[in-house]
Protein backbone atom coordinates (compact mmCIF):
# COMPACT_ATOMS: atom_id res chain seq x y z
CA UNK A 1 0.00 0.00 0.00
CA UNK A 2 1.34 3.46 -0.88
CA UNK A 3 1.95 6.25 1.63
CA UNK A 4 -0.86 8.22 -0.02
CA UNK A 5 -3.32 5.36 0.54
CA UNK A 6 -2.29 5.04 4.20
CA UNK A 7 -2.71 8.79 4.63
CA UNK A 8 -6.21 8.58 3.14
CA UNK A 9 -7.11 5.76 5.53
CA UNK A 10 -5.82 7.82 8.44
CA UNK A 11 -7.90 10.83 7.45
CA UNK A 12 -10.99 8.61 7.17
CA UNK A 13 -10.38 7.02 10.59
CA UNK A 14 -9.81 10.46 12.07
CA UNK A 15 -13.09 11.76 10.68
CA UNK A 16 -15.02 8.85 12.19
CA UNK A 17 -13.55 9.39 15.67
CA UNK A 18 -13.07 12.27 18.10
CA UNK A 19 -9.32 12.68 17.60
CA UNK A 20 -6.90 15.58 17.34
CA UNK A 21 -3.50 14.94 15.75
CA UNK A 22 -0.65 17.20 16.82
CA UNK A 23 2.72 16.80 15.13
CA UNK A 24 6.10 18.35 15.71
CA UNK A 25 8.04 19.86 12.80
CA UNK A 26 10.66 17.11 13.23
CA UNK A 27 8.21 14.33 12.40
CA UNK A 28 8.48 12.45 9.09
CA UNK A 29 6.92 14.63 6.37
CA UNK A 30 4.14 12.10 5.64
CA UNK A 31 2.97 12.45 9.27
CA UNK A 32 3.18 16.23 9.11
CA UNK A 33 0.90 16.12 6.07
CA UNK A 34 -1.99 14.47 7.94
CA UNK A 35 -1.72 16.43 11.22
CA UNK A 36 -4.44 18.83 12.38
CA UNK A 37 -1.76 21.10 13.75
CA UNK A 38 1.97 21.35 13.28
CA UNK A 39 4.43 23.29 15.31
CA UNK A 40 7.35 23.60 17.68
CA UNK A 41 7.13 22.81 21.39
CA UNK A 42 5.60 26.14 22.43
CA UNK A 43 2.95 26.26 19.70
CA UNK A 44 1.96 22.67 20.34
CA UNK A 45 1.75 23.18 24.13
CA UNK A 46 -0.68 26.02 23.50
CA UNK A 47 -2.77 23.90 21.15
CA UNK A 48 -2.77 20.93 23.55
CA UNK A 49 -4.11 23.30 26.16
CA UNK A 50 -7.13 24.08 23.98
CA UNK A 51 -7.88 20.56 22.74
CA UNK A 52 -11.58 19.71 22.76
CA UNK A 53 -11.50 16.11 21.52
CA UNK A 54 -11.60 12.90 23.59
CA UNK A 55 -8.29 11.71 22.12
CA UNK A 56 -5.07 13.51 21.30
CA UNK A 57 -2.48 11.69 19.21
CA UNK A 58 0.85 13.39 19.75
CA UNK A 59 3.31 12.67 16.96
CA UNK A 60 6.50 13.70 18.70
CA UNK A 61 8.65 12.39 21.54
CA UNK A 62 7.61 11.29 25.02
CA UNK A 63 7.98 14.59 26.91
CA UNK A 64 5.66 16.32 24.41
CA UNK A 65 2.93 13.73 24.94
CA UNK A 66 3.47 14.04 28.70
CA UNK A 67 2.99 17.80 28.48
CA UNK A 68 -0.26 17.24 26.59
CA UNK A 69 -1.35 14.80 29.32
CA UNK A 70 -0.51 17.30 32.08
CA UNK A 71 -2.61 19.93 30.29
CA UNK A 72 -5.45 17.50 29.53
CA UNK A 73 -5.83 15.11 32.43
CA UNK A 74 -9.37 14.18 31.38
CA UNK A 75 -8.35 13.20 27.83
CA UNK A 76 -6.60 10.23 26.36
CA UNK A 77 -3.18 11.20 25.03
CA UNK A 78 -1.53 8.69 22.71
CA UNK A 79 1.91 8.44 21.17
CA UNK A 80 2.32 6.35 17.98
CA UNK A 81 5.59 4.79 19.12
CA UNK A 82 6.05 4.58 22.91
CA UNK A 83 9.80 4.21 22.31
CA UNK A 84 10.03 7.67 20.77
CA UNK A 85 12.01 9.37 23.55
CA UNK A 86 14.23 12.45 23.81
CA UNK A 87 17.76 11.55 24.99
CA UNK A 88 18.33 15.12 26.09
CA UNK A 89 15.53 14.82 28.66
CA UNK A 90 17.39 11.86 30.20
CA UNK A 91 20.22 14.20 31.30
CA UNK A 92 18.10 15.58 34.14
CA UNK A 93 16.21 13.67 36.84
CA UNK A 94 13.91 14.98 39.57
CA UNK A 95 16.50 13.94 42.19
CA UNK A 96 19.20 15.93 40.39
CA UNK A 97 16.98 19.03 40.42
CA UNK A 98 16.40 18.59 44.17
CA UNK A 99 20.14 18.29 44.71
CA UNK A 100 20.86 21.47 42.69
CA UNK A 101 18.17 23.30 44.63
CA UNK A 102 19.63 22.17 47.93
CA UNK A 103 23.09 23.37 46.92
CA UNK A 104 21.77 26.66 45.51
CA UNK A 105 18.98 27.81 47.82
CA UNK A 106 16.79 30.74 46.74
CA UNK A 107 17.65 30.42 43.03
CA UNK A 108 14.78 29.86 40.59
CA UNK A 109 14.74 26.56 38.71
CA UNK A 110 14.03 26.93 34.99
CA UNK A 111 13.58 23.73 33.02
CA UNK A 112 13.31 23.28 29.30
CA UNK A 113 10.09 21.58 28.16
CA UNK A 114 12.37 18.76 27.02
CA UNK A 115 12.16 17.16 30.47
CA UNK A 116 10.07 14.49 32.15
CA UNK A 117 6.90 15.44 34.02
CA UNK A 118 8.65 14.55 37.30
CA UNK A 119 11.39 17.11 36.56
CA UNK A 120 8.85 19.78 35.62
CA UNK A 121 7.09 19.11 38.93
CA UNK A 122 10.30 20.12 40.77
CA UNK A 123 10.77 23.36 38.82
CA UNK A 124 9.59 26.95 39.19
CA UNK A 125 8.97 27.56 35.51
CA UNK A 126 9.31 25.84 32.14
CA UNK A 127 10.60 27.34 28.92
CA UNK A 128 11.00 26.43 25.26
CA UNK A 129 13.79 27.50 22.94
CA UNK A 130 11.40 30.19 21.63
CA UNK A 131 10.85 31.90 24.96
CA UNK A 132 13.83 30.85 27.13
CA UNK A 133 15.51 34.28 27.13
CA UNK A 134 12.31 36.12 28.15
CA UNK A 135 11.37 33.49 30.73
CA UNK A 136 14.79 33.68 32.41
CA UNK A 137 14.60 37.50 32.50
CA UNK A 138 11.11 37.41 34.03
CA UNK A 139 11.80 34.76 36.66
CA UNK A 140 15.12 36.27 37.70
CA UNK A 141 13.47 39.63 38.23
CA UNK A 142 10.66 37.97 40.21
CA UNK A 143 13.22 36.21 42.43
CA UNK A 144 15.40 39.36 42.52
CA UNK A 145 18.50 37.49 41.42
CA UNK A 146 20.99 37.58 38.56
CA UNK A 147 21.49 33.78 38.58
CA UNK A 148 19.14 30.91 37.72
CA UNK A 149 19.40 27.14 37.62
CA UNK A 150 18.78 25.97 34.06
CA UNK A 151 18.55 22.49 32.52
CA UNK A 152 19.01 20.18 30.83
CA UNK A 153 20.46 21.72 27.65
CA UNK A 154 23.84 23.31 28.37
CA UNK A 155 24.01 24.97 24.93
CA UNK A 156 20.63 26.63 25.36
CA UNK A 157 21.73 27.71 28.86
CA UNK A 158 24.84 29.28 27.32
CA UNK A 159 22.73 31.04 24.65
CA UNK A 160 20.30 32.40 27.25
CA UNK A 161 23.17 33.61 29.40
CA UNK A 162 24.70 35.43 26.40
CA UNK A 163 21.39 37.06 25.44
CA UNK A 164 20.06 37.93 28.90
CA UNK A 165 23.22 38.67 30.87
CA UNK A 166 21.81 36.41 33.60
CA UNK A 167 24.02 33.60 34.83
CA UNK A 168 22.56 30.17 34.04
CA UNK A 169 23.96 27.39 36.22
CA UNK A 170 23.77 24.32 34.02
CA UNK A 171 21.89 21.31 35.33
CA UNK A 172 23.99 19.34 34.34
CA UNK A 173 27.13 20.75 32.65
CA UNK A 174 27.03 18.19 29.82
CA UNK A 175 23.31 18.13 28.84
CA UNK A 176 22.85 18.43 25.08
CA UNK A 177 20.81 17.47 22.04
CA UNK A 178 22.83 14.99 19.99
CA UNK A 179 21.25 16.29 16.78
CA UNK A 180 22.10 19.98 17.10
CA UNK A 181 25.32 19.68 19.10
CA UNK A 182 27.02 17.69 16.36
CA UNK A 183 27.03 20.64 13.93
CA UNK A 184 30.63 21.82 13.63
CA UNK A 185 32.53 24.96 12.59
CA UNK A 186 33.66 22.99 9.54
CA UNK A 187 30.01 22.33 8.54
CA UNK A 188 29.31 26.06 8.85
CA UNK A 189 32.32 27.10 6.81
CA UNK A 190 31.48 24.64 4.06
CA UNK A 191 27.87 25.77 3.76
CA UNK A 192 28.92 29.44 3.69
CA UNK A 193 31.26 28.71 0.78
CA UNK A 194 28.59 26.68 -1.02
CA UNK A 195 25.91 29.41 -0.68
CA UNK A 196 27.72 32.74 -0.17
CA UNK A 197 24.52 34.76 -0.61
CA UNK A 198 22.37 32.43 1.42
CA UNK A 199 21.08 32.93 4.95
CA UNK A 200 22.23 30.47 7.61
CA UNK A 201 19.72 29.67 10.34
CA UNK A 202 20.61 27.52 13.36
CA UNK A 203 18.94 26.37 16.56
CA UNK A 204 20.08 27.64 19.99
CA UNK A 205 20.82 24.02 20.96
CA UNK A 206 23.90 24.26 18.71
CA UNK A 207 27.27 24.96 20.30
CA UNK A 208 28.32 28.61 20.73
CA UNK A 209 31.01 28.51 18.00
CA UNK A 210 28.40 27.33 15.48
CA UNK A 211 25.80 29.86 16.60
CA UNK A 212 28.33 32.64 16.15
CA UNK A 213 28.81 31.70 12.50
CA UNK A 214 25.08 31.82 11.74
CA UNK A 215 23.00 34.72 10.42
CA UNK A 216 20.02 33.83 12.58
CA UNK A 217 19.57 31.80 15.76
CA UNK A 218 16.07 30.72 16.70
CA UNK A 219 13.60 28.00 17.61
CA UNK A 220 11.85 25.95 14.94
CA UNK A 221 8.83 28.26 15.03
CA UNK A 222 11.04 31.34 14.81
CA UNK A 223 12.99 29.88 11.86
CA UNK A 224 9.72 29.06 10.10
CA UNK A 225 8.42 32.60 10.57
CA UNK A 226 11.72 34.13 9.51
CA UNK A 227 11.57 32.25 6.20
CA UNK A 228 7.85 32.91 5.77
CA UNK A 229 8.26 36.65 6.23
CA UNK A 230 11.27 36.98 3.90
CA UNK A 231 10.15 38.53 0.64
CA UNK A 232 13.41 38.01 -1.30
CA UNK A 233 12.78 35.96 -4.43
CA UNK A 234 14.71 32.69 -4.98
CA UNK A 235 16.74 33.04 -1.81
CA UNK A 236 18.90 30.22 -0.39
CA UNK A 237 18.21 29.24 3.20
CA UNK A 238 20.73 26.98 4.92
CA UNK A 239 19.00 25.15 7.73
CA UNK A 240 20.69 24.13 10.96
CA UNK A 241 18.02 22.13 12.67
CA UNK A 242 16.36 18.74 12.25
CA UNK A 243 15.61 17.84 8.63
CA UNK A 244 11.82 17.66 9.17
CA UNK A 245 11.52 21.44 9.49
CA UNK A 246 13.35 21.94 6.22
CA UNK A 247 11.01 19.47 4.49
CA UNK A 248 8.01 21.37 5.88
CA UNK A 249 9.34 24.71 4.66
CA UNK A 250 10.26 23.29 1.25
CA UNK A 251 6.61 22.27 0.83
CA UNK A 252 5.18 25.51 2.19
CA UNK A 253 7.52 27.88 0.36
CA UNK A 254 8.28 26.25 -3.00
CA UNK A 255 9.83 29.43 -4.45
CA UNK A 256 12.63 29.44 -1.85
CA UNK A 257 15.67 27.19 -1.89
CA UNK A 258 16.54 25.10 1.14
CA UNK A 259 19.77 23.33 2.05
CA UNK A 260 20.41 21.25 5.13
CA UNK A 261 23.72 22.33 6.67
CA UNK A 262 24.60 18.71 7.38
CA UNK A 263 22.96 15.34 6.73
CA UNK A 264 23.66 14.59 10.41
CA UNK A 265 20.68 16.74 11.34
CA UNK A 266 18.33 13.83 11.80
CA UNK A 267 16.64 12.91 15.09
CA UNK A 268 16.24 9.13 15.05
CA UNK A 269 14.00 9.33 18.09
CA UNK A 270 11.50 11.63 16.37
CA UNK A 271 11.55 9.39 13.32
CA UNK A 272 10.50 6.32 15.34
CA UNK A 273 6.93 7.41 14.69
CA UNK A 274 5.87 6.17 11.28
CA UNK A 275 2.81 6.65 9.09
CA UNK A 276 1.96 2.94 9.54
CA UNK A 277 2.04 3.35 13.34
CA UNK A 278 -0.19 6.42 13.05
CA UNK A 279 -2.79 4.32 11.28
CA UNK A 280 -2.41 1.49 13.81
CA UNK A 281 -3.01 3.86 16.76
CA UNK A 282 -6.12 5.23 15.10
CA UNK A 283 -7.38 1.66 14.75
CA UNK A 284 -6.58 0.93 18.44
CA UNK A 285 -7.38 4.15 20.30
CA UNK A 286 -8.11 2.31 23.54
CA UNK A 287 -5.01 0.13 23.54
CA UNK A 288 -3.19 1.12 26.78
CA UNK A 289 0.15 0.47 25.10
CA UNK A 290 -0.01 3.85 23.34
CA UNK A 291 -1.42 5.91 26.18
CA UNK A 292 0.74 8.49 27.93
CA UNK A 293 -0.82 9.31 31.29
CA UNK A 294 1.00 11.41 33.83
CA UNK A 295 -0.15 10.44 37.35
CA UNK A 296 -2.38 13.16 38.80
CA UNK A 297 -0.13 13.95 41.80
CA UNK A 298 2.79 14.72 39.44
CA UNK A 299 0.56 16.36 36.80
CA UNK A 300 -0.87 18.81 39.35
CA UNK A 301 2.62 20.00 40.33
CA UNK A 302 4.01 19.98 36.78
CA UNK A 303 1.05 22.04 35.55
CA UNK A 304 2.11 25.06 37.62
CA UNK A 305 5.46 25.75 35.82
CA UNK A 306 3.89 25.01 32.42
CA UNK A 307 1.00 27.40 33.01
CA UNK A 308 3.39 29.99 34.32
CA UNK A 309 5.37 29.71 31.10
CA UNK A 310 2.24 30.02 28.96
CA UNK A 311 1.17 33.04 30.94
CA UNK A 312 4.56 34.73 30.46
CA UNK A 313 4.94 34.04 26.74
Instruction: List residues binding ligand SF4 (CB under 6 A).
Output: 26, 61, 86-88, 114, 177-179, 242, 267, 269-270
The DSSP symbol for 213 reads T
Query: Virtual CA dihedral for 288, 56, 45, 26, nearest 10 degrees?
Result: 90
Indicate the DSSP class of residue 291: B
Residue with smaller CB distance to ligand SF4, 204 or 305: 204
Contact residues for 261 (Cβ-Cβ < 8 A; gap 6+): 183, 187, 188, 191, 200, 202, 238, 239, 240
Instruction: Between 107 and 261, name the residue whose CB sits nearer to ligand SF4.
Output: 261
Given CA atoms 52, 58, 59, 64 in this order, what sign does their dihedral have?
Answer: positive
* Pairing status of strand 55-59 against strand 257-260: unpaired
Closest contact distance (angstroms) between CB of 267 and ligand SF4 is: 3
CB 120 within 8 A of CB 295: no
Q: Compute the least distance from the CB of residue 209 to ligand SF4, in Å.
A: 19
Least CB distance to ligand SF4 at residue 4 (A): 27
- If the CB atoms of residues 51 and 65 are measured against ligand SF4, the closer one turns out to be 65
Q: How far apart are CA 117 and CA 128, in angstroms?
A: 15
Whole-number minimum distance, CB 88 to ligand SF4, in Å?
4
Closest approach of ligand SF4 to the CB of residue 61, in Å = 5
Q: Which is nearer to ligand SF4, 139 or 177 (CB)?
A: 177
Shortest Cβ distance from residue 269 to ligand SF4 (Å)? 5
CB of 254 to ligand SF4, least distance (A): 25
Q: For the CB of residue 229, give the shortest distance to ligand SF4 in the complex, in Å.
A: 24
Q: Which is nearer to ligand SF4, 82 or 87 (CB)?
A: 87
Give the count of alpha carbons within 13 A of 57, CB side only.
34
Give whichever of 77 and 156 is closer to ligand SF4, judged by the CB atom: 156
Are 307 and 80 in contact, with CB atoms under 8 Å apart? no
Cβ closest to ligand SF4, residue 97 vs residue 267 = 267
- CA 33 to CA 30: how far, in whole Å? 5
Residue 229 exposure: Cα atoms within 13 Å on the Cβ side:
6
Residue 67 or residue 114: which is nearer to ligand SF4 going by CB?
114
127 Cβ partners below 8 Å, 6+ apart?
110, 111, 112, 113, 135, 136, 309
Q: In angstroms, rounded to a whole number, what is the distance separating the alpha carbons of residues 278 and 190?
A: 38
CA dihedral for 56, 177, 180, 310, sign (positive or negative) = positive
Amino acid sequence: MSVKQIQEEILKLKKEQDVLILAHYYQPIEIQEIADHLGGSLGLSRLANKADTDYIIFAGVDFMAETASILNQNKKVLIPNPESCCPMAAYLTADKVKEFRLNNPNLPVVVYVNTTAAVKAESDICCTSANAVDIVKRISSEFKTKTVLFGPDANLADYVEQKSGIKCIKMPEEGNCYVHSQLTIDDMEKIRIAYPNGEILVHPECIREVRELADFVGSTGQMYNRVKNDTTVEKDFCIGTEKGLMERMAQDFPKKNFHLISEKLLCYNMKKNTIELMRYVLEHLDDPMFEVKVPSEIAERALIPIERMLEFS
